[in-house]
Structure 1
Amino acid sequence: MKKTNKWLMVSALFTSLVFAGCSSQPSASEGSGGSTAAGGDKKIVIGFSQVTSESPFYTALVDGAKAEAAKQGAELVVMDAQNDIEKQNADVQDLITKGIDVLILNPTNPTAVVPALTAAKQANIQVVTVDRPTEEKVAAFVGRDNKEMGRIAGKQAVALLGGEGKATGKVIELQGDAGGKVMMDRHDGFHEIVSKEPGVKIVEGPYSDYIRSKAVKAFQDLLQANPDVNLVYAHNDDMALGALQVLEQANMLDKVKIVGIDGLSEAVKAIIDGKYSATVFNDPIKLGSIVVDTALKVAKGEQVPEYVDGGTGLIDASNAKDVYNEKDVFAQMK
């Protein structure tokens, strides 16, 4: 009888140790160290250092990234650099400390972000850049040809001002961020086309960081100094809509054409309403989806192209109704 009791005690102790060991295993819902529901593989943790959350384009870019990460069972940790390169470099270090597997980076500055890239390299973390490239080599860049987007806007501006070889008028250009690669490409591509027209003069406005409120203030001063303006070209729709606001208040919308970039639904609706001439398509939701898919492939050791092109196109009165949906922040081209 004593032997039986002793055996029961040993058996109970062993059983309790087994259950204790099982309960110490993390569940799939416990964060980055857990398993995916699909089969026990470690959940991939993606760090995303975003340049800013002030622009609707960048907000939608993150939304697209979150949706794709959720779809593929990955964890996405997003940090907002607030257009501050020192904060971005610190944010990346923080993401590395959190234990990310791969880094998505939308650089505030293509050269000053080197400390962040160096920190990632030292931690053996691959980097995928999105929207804005860096000068340093990374695993992949997911974006669009911003110089080509500038060319498309330039061709449309020339057509609106009288056509190739005949165009005349004054253009006010609302520029993005000082020194930014996207800004320079959208500037250079536009000038490459429009500068061929001797009858067209371009007035370059101050940098408004792609933010509508800054563009409103800048354009108020520009319009006062250039009341004979014929067309506004803005490096994104948010700034162009700021110009539209000022022109509407000045009762000049019927005299001035507006061309922007991004395909913001508010701008597409303005095209339908006859208040806005055209926008060059740059869907951020699709871009967010593509960059997360690319980052996951990189994290798994799969081969990806160094440049992944998200595609572009022109939205004007001929197709605005086809791509517009009032429920979407950005137009969705078929």
Structure 2
Amino acid sequence: MSKKRKWLALTMIMAMLLSAMTGCGPSQSADTDSDADSSSGEKKSISVIVMALNSDYWHMVEAGAKLAGNEFGYEVNVVGPNSESDSVAQSNMVEDAVTNHVGAIVLAPNEPKVLVSSVQKAKDAGVPVIIIDAALQTDDESLYESFIGTGNYEAGKTAGEYLASKLQKGDKVALIRGLVGQPTHDERANGAKDALEAAGMQIVAIQPADSDRGKAVNVAENIIQTTPDIKCFYATNDEMALGAYQAVEGSQLQKQVIVMGFDGSFGALDSIAEGKLSASLAQKPIEEGYLGVKAAIEVIEGKSVEKKVNNGVVIVDKDNVKSFREEIDAKVAESKKY
């Protein structure tokens, strides 16, 4: 082969190599874009971890969370243990969310002291946490970005003041509460107790039923046996209030005894509408879920959020139960589309 032909062949080979290298450019760019999309996808995922998924209240929180996710274009996954007393399962859920590199966690801690270590792990991993419903039991406010909920003591006090307005001075009242030592139920019970005693009511019992309707039936039946002139039961969630009413109904005292719950759950609203349960103090769970996810999105997007947000409460009784339920039903129906 002549030198000229060798040079021409070498030139052609070099040209082909350059073309091949240039052709790799778009492929590398596509891979980079894919990685960016993957990272963005992670940031657009929010894990909402509620105290449990065994009551209407938490399903309403779920509805609000999903409404916010749809409105702002984020994927929202709602999980929770089978019981509000299962802090181990909830802790594992927080750690799973961190492992899955979610953009943020919205947490309603069922054991606010126990969950501190899991939230610390989220912070260490760079996953922001929004606390809802029950404040985390820690002095280190840097662990979470915002707390959204109602002061449970003040809410309990509001319930106690409402009940006092329906009772006579000296009337006997029993309190049925959730798990002993759980701050949420401690505060709801203490607030009501202080308001009722300040109004001159006689607190004859404060008994735990662990947020369980069946246990509340037994607790209320025992109280009725020992105090047949009981005038009121106040429970720190609606499941226990419905259990207390079941006991009252079985004793034929339903026309003499006021029964009030806490949460504004579907079952409680139905009971109030039927003229059974007297009232429930609702913490606006749909708004709570919505605001929790909205705050998480703002943090992900680099916006500032308020450290503490009071979501407010509303007392639901026979006077407003219809309008309250209609509004909730509309929002829950909308959330089921997503």
Q: Give the TM bin, normalised by the shorter chain.
A: 0.7 to 0.9
1:38 maps to none
Contact 1:236 1:262 in 2 (8 A): yes
Q: For residues 171-202 of structure 1, what are the alpha-carbon distances to aligned partners after superposition, in whole Å with 9 as ceiling and x for unaligned?
A: 12110222222212211211121112445233
> 1:295, CA displacement in angstroms?
1.1
> 1:320, CA displacement in angstroms?
2.6
Distance 1:224 1:12 in 2: 92
Across the two proteins, how many residue pairs are aligned to each other? Answer: 317
Contact 1:88 1:116 in 2 (8 A): no
Alignment of 1:168-187 (within 5 A): 168-187=170-189
Identity %: 27
Distance 1:52 1:26 in 2: 36
Q: Please report the TM-score for the alignment, with normalisation by the length of structure 2.
A: 0.81
Give the match's secondary structure for 1:142. strand
- Normalized per residue, the structure richer in helix is 2
Contact 2:69 2:75 in 1 (8 A): yes
> 1:288, CA displacement in angstroms?
0.3
Alignment of 1:149-160 (within 5 A): 149-160=155-166
1:195 maps to 197
Alignment of 1:115-126 (within 5 A): 115-126=117-128
Structure 2 gaps, min length 5: 1-7, 333-338
Question: RMSD of the TM alignment (CA)?
Answer: 3.1
Moved more, 8-17 or 167-176: 8-17
The equivalent position to 2:167 in structure 1, one of 161, 168, 177, is 161
> 1:233, CA displacement in angstroms?
0.4
Contact 2:157 2:192 in 1 (8 A): yes
Structure 1 gaps, min length 5: 36-41
> 1:317, CA displacement in angstroms?
2.9
Moved more, 145-154 or 86-95: 86-95
Alignment of 1:129-140 (within 5 A): 129-136=131-138, 137=141, 138-140=144-146
Give the match's secondary structure for 2:329. coil
Q: For residues 39-72 of structure 1, what are the alpha-carbon distances to aligned partners after superposition, in whole Å with 9 as ceiling and x for unaligned?
A: xxx7422223322111221122122212211221
Q: For residues 67-114 of structure 1, what are the alpha-carbon distances to aligned partners after superposition, in whole Å with 9 as ceiling and x for unaligned?
A: 211221112233424432233333222211111222222112122222
Q: Please report the TM-score for the alignment, with normalisation by the length of structure 1.
A: 0.82
Residue identity in the other structure for 1:155: E
2:308 maps to 307
1:298 maps to 299
Moved more, 103-112 or 286-295: 103-112
Residue identity in the other structure for 2:62: V
